[in-house]
Structure 1
Amino acid sequence: MTETFVIVGGDAAGMSAASKAKRERPDMDVIVFEKGEWVSYAACGMPYYVKGDVDDLDDLVAVTPEEFVEERDVDLRTGHEVVGIDRDDQTVTVDVDGDRFEQPYDHLLIGTGAHAIEPPFDGIDLEGVFTIHDMDEADAIDDYVADHDLETAAIVGGGYVGIEMAEALTARGLSVSLFEMLPHVLQPFGEPVAEVVEDHLREQGVDLHLETAVQGFVGDERVDTVELEDDAVSADLVIVGVGVAPNTELAEEAGIELGPTGAIAIDEYGRTNDERIYAAGDCAEATNVVTGEPDHVPLALTANRAGRAIGQTVTGSPTSVGKIAGTAIVKAFELGAARTGIVDPEQAREAGFDPVSVTIDAPTRPHYYPGATELTVTLLADRESERVLGASLVGRDGVKRVDTVATALSAELTVTELQNLDLAYAPPFSPTWDPILTAAKVLSGKLEG
């Protein structure tokens, strides 16, 4: 008898699962319900569309709906919203323009993603105030900049979106102010990275307001001012980028358990507390490779990898969704910043470690080779076990080296083992001692001292 695999959500996790399941079991009925019209798109590319580096919004789509249907034989139905799950009958209720029907399933994947957090700011509904978490929002921002004579922009939040949009809107000719409640931007990257990025943002003309709480927005239909506690700043356009929250309402209403992070709790294979229901992507937790505890770091690779694994599991080959290190990288004008694992000593202590760290500046190439720049590397380890816990990097070149540390975390390498890795060397690419090896060498000496 043919089994039916129903997927709720048509982005990274959902479409990866659908494609993998159909490849492994062509006879399986794979049905994807997506309430919007966009599927399988690169959300991380949206700031670069607004900036103008990406010419067409459709360029961000990896696989079109037509390709999923015609080439991959996936029953993809856009404009279909799943509004209920009946676990006893193993059905989902689907809404299409107000009409509803029931769809039975043998296996169900919840891939409902996350949504942009909208704080209760006064004036958040004014024209010209946006979040940027889906394709329609990116398109609306691009149109707004093109259609209006704008001079100033305000960005609320100094995370990935805030930094990337500061670059994008500066490139579009706007004078940008950025507001962050915390002492530094890019809080998960640590203070050494943040301070370098902040100096660079100021050099690029961004007006930084750190430890500054926004009170609301003012304007006559269209926004024109950001209100602070003791001040006001002009803004013809506002981007609110204060983070995202997992979409868990559908799961909660069906009695699917949430974990300590507030996202859907899953096991090694992506299963929820119902053995026939899985969750993956930005709505689901993952296991942190350093702490072994549930974590929620909504990133594209995590979603793709988990979806693909679940697609294989439902076809009869149980496959782990894998652990995460929270590895991330961001471009800030001419700088790059990256992080993996635990970079905050206080967070390490809370996880039961005794952290020791070093911060070094090292060249990305030998001093005699053209193009050498300084790379700042912070490396963190546990004093007793000497296990590598995490790292952060910032510089104009070479921050992708963070992947070496991410690999070390998965292998549970010690600092000495990291120091002794046989990494490639040639003058156009690296000095003899790669910056990661140099940081490990310095940290090893500190642990011995």
Structure 2
Amino acid sequence: MNTYDVIILGKGPAGIIAGVTAKKQNPDKSILMIGEEDKGLVPCGIPYVFHRLDDVSKNAMGPKPFLDAGGEVVVDKAVGVDLDARKVKVASGAEFGFERLVFATGSEPVVPKFINGYDLKGVFYVKKSYQYIEHLKEKANEAKNIVIIGGGFIGAEVAEQMHLEGKANVSLIELEDQCFSKAFSKELATIATDKLRDTGLNVLTSTKVDHLEGENGEVQSVVTSAGEQIPADMVIMSIGYSPNTALAKDAGVDLNSIGAIRIDNFGRTNKNHVYAVGDCAGTIGFLTGREDNIMLASTATAEARILGYNMFGIKIKRCFSGTLGVFSTEVNNLSMASAGVNENTASEAGVEYLTAKFSDVDRHPGTLDDTQPLTVRLFASVSDGSILGGEVWGGKSSGEIINTISMAIQKRVTVYELVSFQIGTHPLLTTAPTKNVMIKAAEGIIAQLHK
């Protein structure tokens, strides 16, 4: 049995970045990564294989950076972990010993067993599996009527891309009043949902699925609680993901109240030299201070870098005191992004806030031929004006502006500091220096603070 200084279970973004970072910091340590499939996927790129990329191979992600750094990879399924014997068993029967173990086992789609007909043939999920998505794409190309259940980011993006592909009649069903409602404010969620509808996609909001009907074991339609019957020879469930923690639980690793692996600020579990990172690991919400589980590759890789640096002793401090959800998407050529607090999450947490927005264009002067509208909305504390959240929508610069807002939130920047933010501008690249949308939104909050 070969023994390694570190074994990482999982070959997704969290596992790869943790492995690369740990290996570069500790080149003398032997690190093995175990994953079930030879090829992986960029998780956030999955929707685009159904139209824009048009091929699963164009969204492939593999452990090459880890191999280049000197790591080793075994393509097999881990089926058992013995923490007392310090060994991992894989499906082929082989065993590998370890000094340190990292669970980076990701997440699995939620299976809605509460919906009768969920187990009919023709019901699919958006799994983060290369082989599964390849099969799903093949079946989608043959389908005539596709229904996607769940209007979050993945569901809405898959629905848009399948609709744009034009090979099937596509419907999107969402229980809430708008799509994207868990990440966006009501205003932005409404804008996003309207943009989806503008593509011609059949979007049914405020709609509850009652059951699926089938014939000879194959799905034929989706029936809503209002009795509407929507034809479907393919149904894609996209109602969320749950942490993949079965191996960890069986090994005696503690889970938190929502079923994720309980870790401290440096990814350490309750077991000595056993760590967890990514979707399978729990987090603490930036705003609530409560147990949470933000399943984003960007969050996972941030945590993975911290783990990689500190696996053999604390070298750098984890500087974020809670997980900050930073979301972005593009629907019908409109880019949209959010970070931190919005009116929905603030209300749930009982947080008082002030908000202001400012709209302009993303180039100057506005007569330039590639100019697009741009809006920034900020949320700030009523007590000291510190930035708690933000939303941006308009052109593609929205994706990077939200990252600036995210940094402002993490560093507890106030609206007073933001108005003296020294910026670089250029007519072909940015808004005008006289009316930077982020600074103008901050001024809107200052005006309220001094009423």
Alignment partners' CA distance in 1, 2:36 and 2:356: 48
Alignment partners' CA distance in 1, 2:172 and 2:74: 40
1:177 aligns with 2:177: no
Residue matched to 2:29: 28
Residue matched to 2:207: 212
Judge which range, 433-442 or 254-263, deviates more.
Answer: 254-263
1:353 corresponds, among 344, 351, 354, to 351
| 8 Å Cα contact 2:48/2:54 also seen in 1 | no
Residue matched to 1:309: 306
**Paired amino acid for 2:245:** T
- Relative distance call for 1:448 and 1:291 in structure 2 (3 A) is farther
Residue matched to 2:241: 244
Q: Percent identity?
A: 27
Alignment partners' CA distance in 2, 1:383 and 1:415: 11
Residue matched to 1:143: 138
- Relative distance call for 1:420 and 1:85 in structure 2 (3 A) is farther
* Counterparts of residues 87-106 of structure 1 (less than 5 Å): 88-89=84-85, 91-97=86-92, 99=93, 101=95, 103-106=96-99
Q: Secondary structure at the match of 1:178?
A: strand
Q: Secondary structure at the match of 2:204?
A: strand
Residue matched to 2:13: 12
Judge which range, 253-262 or 225-234, deviates more.
Answer: 253-262
Alignment partners' CA distance in 1, 2:213 and 2:207: 17
1:131 corresponds, among 125, 131, 134, to 125
- Relative distance call for 1:307 and 1:326 in structure 2 (3 A) is same
1:167 aligns with 2:169: no
C-alpha RMSD of the superposition: 2.3
- Tell me how far 1:180 sits from its aligned partner: 0.8
Q: Secondary structure at the match of 2:89?
A: strand
- Relative distance call for 1:165 and 1:325 in structure 2 (3 A) is same
**Paired amino acid for 2:306:** A
1:446 corresponds, among 437, 445, 448, to 448
Q: Secondary structure at the match of 2:440?
A: helix
- Tell me how far 1:352 sits from its aligned partner: 5.4
| 8 Å Cα contact 1:289/1:409 also seen in 2 | no
**Paired amino acid for 1:353:** V
- Relative distance call for 1:81 and 1:408 in structure 2 (3 A) is same
Normalised to the residue count of structure 1, the TM-score between the two structures is: 0.90
Residue matched to 1:227: 223
Cα deviations across residues 204-243 of structure 1 (Å, max 9, x unaligned)?
Answer: 1122211111122223243231111121112232221111
* Counterparts of residues 38-117 of structure 1 (less than 5 Å): 38-39=39-40, 41-51=41-51, 53-64=52-63, 68-69=66-67, 71-86=68-83, 88-89=84-85, 91-97=86-92, 99=93, 101=95, 103-117=96-110
Segments of structure 1 that go 5 or more residues without pairing to the other structure are none
Alignment partners' CA distance in 1, 2:244 and 2:4: 27
- Tell me how far 1:127 sits from its aligned partner: 3.0
**Paired amino acid for 2:404:** T
Number of residue pairs matched by the alignment: 437
* Counterparts of residues 330-409 of structure 1 (less than 5 Å): 330-344=329-343, 347-351=345-349, 353-366=351-364, 367-400=366-399, 401-409=401-409
1:328 aligns with 2:327: yes
Alignment partners' CA distance in 1, 2:340 and 2:118: 35
Cα deviations across residues 335-376 of structure 1 (Å, max 9, x unaligned)?
Answer: 11100011135x325545321222443322343333333233
- Tell me how far 1:137 sits from its aligned partner: 2.6
- Tell me how far 1:3 sits from its aligned partner: 6.1
- Tell me how far 1:415 sits from its aligned partner: 1.4
Q: Secondary structure at the match of 2:177?
A: coil
Alignment partners' CA distance in 1, 2:257 and 2:354: 27
| 8 Å Cα contact 1:357/1:378 also seen in 2 | yes
Segments of structure 2 that go 5 or more residues without pairing to the other structure are none
Judge which range, 136-145 or 367-376, deviates more.
Answer: 367-376
Cα deviations across residues 35-89 of structure 1 (Å, max 9, x unaligned)?
Answer: 33334x31211111121x3254233234356x755x3432211113142332x33
Alignment partners' CA distance in 2, 1:92 and 1:247: 19
Q: Secondary structure at the match of 1:282?
A: helix
Normalised to the residue count of structure 2, the TM-score between the two structures is: 0.90
- Tell me how far 1:392 sits from its aligned partner: 1.5
